[in-house]
Structures are given as structure tokens and as C-alpha cells.
Structure 1
Amino acid sequence: MFERIAPEQHDTLPDIPEPAENPALFGHLETRRMLAQAYRSGKMHHALLLAGPQGIGKATLAYHLANHIFTHPDPREAPEDLVAIDTASQSFRLLAQGAHPGFLHLTRPRNDREKKFKTVITVDEIRRVSRFLGMTTQEGGFRVILVDPADDMNTNAANALLKSLEEPPRRTLFILTTHSLGRLLPTIRSRCQTIKLQPLPDQDLFTVLQGIGADMPEASEERALLAARSSGSVRNAVLLTQFGGLEIEQALSGVLGQPKLNMTDVFRLADAASGRDRQIQFDLFNRLALDRIAERARLAGEEGDTCTAASLAELHEDMRTQLIETETYNLDRRQHIIGTISTLHTKLGGMPQAL
């Protein structure tokens, strides 16, 4: 029976380990070894930017690297590959509980008054960096700051982080994760070593799913379909198999593939993804919608249609802003979904739809 010890995050899934408490790390073998060797040699960049799709293990890798550093505070004595997690160690327990004195995790904060998480990483969160760096470390050890994901910083927060990145104290490591490099300020990207992580191979994906007890299709054809639609992301696969993701994806594909919107189908989908107890389904719908726009923009760019690509990129940002406003001001989620479907049908209607 899985027992959570990590604090709940804005994107926590029931019965799925948080990166902070996950002792298993799959994929990214070359990157893991490169980071371990950079630490051992004393040539670790002061700011790492781990880039790649959501759910492929970026934050988990960040925690494993932090555990490696805290387990071997003297880089010269550290092994050439990341050490396996010892779940009985004090370092692991403190990291998992968010209580390690050498580690600061910055993500969307919880609004206790409204009993929900904020939609962005605020400047107040980033200001915690100065207070954290002002504290004395244990025996001069490393301090690690994780911003996860850095995409969620608003403009003020991003500008505040820049000041810390420009003049980092000695033996301080910043780790930023990003699902989309284009969302970050160029000035932040320029101060980091960007490491692009690839989606997990199918074998690793299925191994992780089996390890967490996820429902797995038995037929090889269904497994192949799940792998294709998951795009190498464990989070995608879990959402698709355990939280109605496949049904939402199929319903969205159905309404967008019609020459004229069938409002009965639209209302049915809006009801299924907007209920009070359907936060995960609402998030999943919006990710599917935004992913469609991003994919079409990518294809347009590859075909040399820069005008369409730019227009779709602007649409992606507009719809992302609308989503943030819906969450921030408690707007009607059902109407948000209906409006999103209408916009997608107008802009993408009649084109092939895929996860």
C-alpha cells in the first residue's frame, strides 16, 4: 500500500508518488552519468535547465541529483553515476518531506484561504531564495534550489530569479525544469546549462506503470496505442488509463472532427470535465486542447508556413491565459470548456486530431 510522505503539490495524482518521494528513476542514462561526472570533477554548472515534455521524470531526476550531492558532500569522493536512493536514509526522508535544510523547492504555492493552489509561481516564492541563501549551511555543504516548473513563473517572479542566477553564491546549484523552453525569458535560458531530456522508451514507460500498479491493457495492440498516445510520459499514461483520459481524448477528437459542432456532444464533454470533483479531468482537457494547438503550430513551422505557425503560437498563449484567468477568478469551468471547443473547432476543425 502506497503511503505518501511528500507534501501535496498542485499536480499531485492520487496514489502516485511525488518526484520527491520516488526512489525509482528510469531513462536519461547519459544525462545521469554526465551530471554525476560534472559534480565529481567540480565542473557542475551553477544553473541547470532540464527541458522536456511533462511527466518524463525531470523533477525526479532533479531530486536524485540532489540526493547524490547530499549523500556525497565531497565531490572528489562521489561515484561517476548517480547513487541509488536509500529510502531508509535521513537525507531521503528529509527531501521527501520538504524539510531538508540544504534544499528549497519552489512551485505553485497553496492559497490556504481559498483552499487551492495558485496558478503561477509568484514573486513572493522567488523571494524565499534570498532568505534560503542567507542561512548557514551544514559544514559548508551544497545548497540546491529547484524551480518546478519554471514555466509557471509570472514576469515579476522570473525577473526576481534572474538576480540570483546572475550572482550565485559558492556551492549553490539551481535546477529549473521546463515543459516548454519558449515560455522562459531568454535571459534566464542564457544563464543556465540547458539539458534536453527525451520521452521515455516504451519499455521504461511500461516498467514504471507496472511498478506503480497502474491498469495496463493486456492486448499488444492496445499497449501500442497507449504508448503512442502517452508520448513517453508516465503522467500522460496514468491520466489516460486511470482518470478517464482516453475517453476525454476520444470525445474531443469526435467533436472537433465534425463539420459542424454537435452541441449535445459538446455539452456532454463539458459536463464530464468540469464537475466540482473533476480537477484532474479539467486539467487533462486543457492539456489536450493546448497540445493540439502546439502540434499544429509545429507542423506549420516544419512546412514553412510561418504566418500560420505564429498565429497558432499566439492562440496557444491566449488560451493559456484564459485558463489561468478561469482558475484565478473561479470562472465557470463548463463555459470555459465550451468556449475552448468552439475556438478549436474554428481554428483546427476538419484537420486530423491526435493526442
Structure 2
Amino acid sequence: MFERIAPEQHDTLPDIPEPAENPILVGHDSARSMLAGAYRAGKLHHALLLAGPRGIGKATLAFHLALHLFTHPDHAMAPDNLDATDLGTQAFRLLAQGAHPGLLHLTRPYSERDKKFRTVITVDEIRRVNRFLSMTASDGGYRVVIVDPADDMNTSAANALLKNLEEPPPRTLFILIAHSFGRLLPTIRSRCQTIKLQPLGAEGLEELLHRLGMELPTGEEERRLLIERSGGSVRSAVLLTQFGGLEIAATVEKILGGRTLDVAESFRLAEATVGRDRQVQFDLFNRIALDRTADAAAQAAEDGQVEQAARLALLWEELAADTREVEVFNLDRKQHVMGTMQRLHAALGNLR
């Protein structure tokens, strides 16, 4: 039975390991080999940007690389591939617990006053980097800073990090995780070696879900839909199977497929995705709505409907902004869900 030892994060899922404590890394073989080889050759870039969709293993790869550096402080003696994680080592336990002296993990901080995680990585979090780097590593090894995800930084935080990236101390590695590459400052992107990671294939996704103990649909069609809608993201697959995501997605499609907006069905959808202990379902709804809008925009562009594609792209931006405002200002979530469905139905009506 899984027992969590890592600190809880803003996006922690029950019974699913945090990247810091996850010994399982599936896929990304070329990136893993390249990073291990660069380290062994003494040519590892001081700032890495791991970019790709959410939930494909970017942060897990970052922690595996950090553990590799801590386990092999002499790069010339390091193996030419990332080691299989040994759960019994002190380095792994310290890393998993967020207590390794060589690692600083920056993510959305928890607000004791508000009793919830903040919606951004603040400049106060980034200021911790200077204090961390002012301390000498106890064994003369690497110090690793992981920013997870970097696209959660507000402008002040991003500018503060930029100063650290410009002149890092020796034997310092920055690893930035990015779900939305384009949201990062161009000046930050230019100072990093970008490694674009691809979504997991169907085989890799099923293997990882199996190793995590997740139950997959038994029916062939249901399994196909899960793999298709997951988009190569194990996080999306877990959400779809364990938190009602498949049902939410089916309801959204049913409403959008009607010639007129089904207000009663939209109300039932809102009831199912808001309220106490429904944060995951609310996040799922917003993700599904944004993905549906993005897919429609991409299809319109492919069909040569330039104006329609532009309108849908603008709608995506507006819906994303609305979602952030609901979280920041604690607005009415039920009204948000119903309003989103109304806007989507109207925007996609001429595509049916």
C-alpha cells in the first residue's frame, strides 16, 4: 500500500506519488540518456527547461536527475544512464521528504492565513534561491533548484529568477518545469537548454498506470477513449478514471452536441463539479472545457477558417482568465460552470 512521505503540493492526488518520491519513470529515454551523458562528460548546462504537457513525467525526470547528481558527485565516474532509483538510500529518502540539503524545490506556497495554496509562485519563493546558493554544499557536490512549474511564476518572480540564471555559482543546476512553454519570459527561455518531452505513447501510459496500481476500464472502447482523452498524460488518465473525468467529459460533449443549450443538464454538471471536496472535479471541468476549445480552434485553422480559429483562440484566453479569477477571488463556481457551457455552446454551434 502506498504511503506518502513527500510534502503535499497544490496538485497532490490521493494515493499517487509526488514526483520527488516516485521511483517510476517511464518513457523519455533519449532525454534521460542525453542528460546522463552530458553530466558524465562535464557538459551539463547550468539551466534546463523541461517542457511538455502536464502529467507526462517532467518533474519526475527532474528529481531523478537531481538524485543522479547527488549519488554520483564525481561526474567522470557517473554511469552513462540515469540509475534505477534505490528506495533504500538516504539520498532518496531525504529528497522525497523535501529535506535534502542540496535541493531547493520551488512551487506554489501554502498560505497559513488563507488555509490554501496560492495560485502563483511568488517572488518571496524565488528569493529563497539566494539564501540557498549562499550555503556551500556539504560534500562539495551540486546544488539543484527545481521550479515546478515555472509557468506559475508571476512577473516579479520571473524577473527575480532571471537574475539567478544570468550568473549562477559553479556546480549549480536549475531545472525549470514548463507546461506552457510560451508563458515563460523569452529572456528566461534564452538562458536555458530546452528539452521538449513528448506525451507518453499508449503502451507506456498503460504500463505506468498499471505500476501505479490504477484500475483501467475493462471494455475495449472505454479503454480506447481513456487513452485518447488522456493525451499521453498519466495525470489526466488518473483524473479521468478515479475522479469522474470520463463522465464529466461525456456530459460536456452531450451538452455541446445539442442544437440548443440544455440548461437543466448544464445545471446538473455544475452541481457535480462544485462544492466541498470537489476541487479536483472543478479543475477537471475547466481543463476539459479549455481542451475542447483548443481542439476546435486547431480544427478551424486546419480547415482554413482563420477568423473562426482566431475567435476560438480568444475564447480560450478569456476562459482561462475567468478560471483564474474564480480561484483568486473565490467567485461563484456554479455560475462559472454554467456560463462556460453557455459560451462554449454558442461558440461551437456553427461547427456542429
Post-superposition Cα deviations, 1:256-310, rounded to whole Å, max 9, x if no partner, equal 1222111100100001001111000001111111112222333344455554444
Aligned match of 2:347? 347
Equivalences for 1:179-194 in 2 at 5 Å? 179-194=179-194
**2-structure distance, mates of 1:290, 1:345:** 13
Aligned equivalent of 1:228: 228
- 8 Å contact kept, 1:56–1:235: yes
Counterpart for residue 219 of structure 2: 219
Listed one character per residue, the Cα deviations across residues 67-110 of structure 1 (whole Å, up to 9, x for unaligned) are 10100011000000001111111111111111111111111111
Is there any run of 5+ residues in structure 1 with no aligned partner, and where?
A: none
- What is the distance in 2 between the residues matched to 1:301 and 1:187? 29
Counterpart in the other structure of 2:23: 23
| Preserved contact between residue 273 and residue 285 of structure 1 (Cα < 8 Å) | yes
What fraction of aligned residue pairs are identical, expressed as a percent? 66
Q: Which residue of 2 aligns with 1:333?
A: 333
Contact 1:54–1:235, Cα closer than 8 Å, also in 2:
yes
Aligned mates of 2:96, 2:168 — CA distance in 1: 25
Equivalence for 2:63: 63
Residue correspondences, number = 352
RMSD, aligned α-carbons = 1.5
Equivalent in the alignment of 2:296: 296
1:155–1:312 distance in 2 versus 1, CA, 3 Å: farther
- The residue type equivalent to 2:17 in the other structure is P
Bigger mean CA deviation after superposition, 335-344 or 297-306: 297-306
Aligned residues of 1:162 and 1:188 also touching (Cα < 8 A): yes
Gap runs ≥5 in structure 2: none
Q: Does 1:195 align with 2:195?
A: yes
Inter-partner Cα distance in structure 1 for 2:337 and 2:230 = 22
1:141 positional shift: 1.1
| Per-residue deviation, residues 101-135 of structure 1 (Å, max 9, x unmatched) | 11111111111122111111111111111111111
TM-score (norm. length: structure 1): 0.95
Question: Which amino acid in 2 is paired with 1:21?
Answer: E
Looking at structure 1, the residues matched to 124 and 315 of structure 2 have their Cα atoms a distance apart, in angstroms, of: 29
Distance in 2 of aligned mates of 1:202 and 1:110: 35
Which runs of structure 1 show a deviation greater than 6 angstroms over 4 or more consecutive aligned residues?
Answer: none
Q: Helix, strand or coil: the match of 1:127?
A: helix
Q: Deviations over 1:29-49 (max 9, x none)?
A: 111000000111111111111
CA contact (8 A) 1:257 1:350 kept: no
C-alpha contact (below 8 Å) 1:258/1:350 kept by paired residues: no
Q: 2:118 aligns to what?
A: 118
User: What does 1:58-207 correspond to in 2, within 5 Å?
Assistant: 58-207=58-207
Q: Which amino acid aligns with 1:277?
A: D
TM-score (norm 2): 0.96
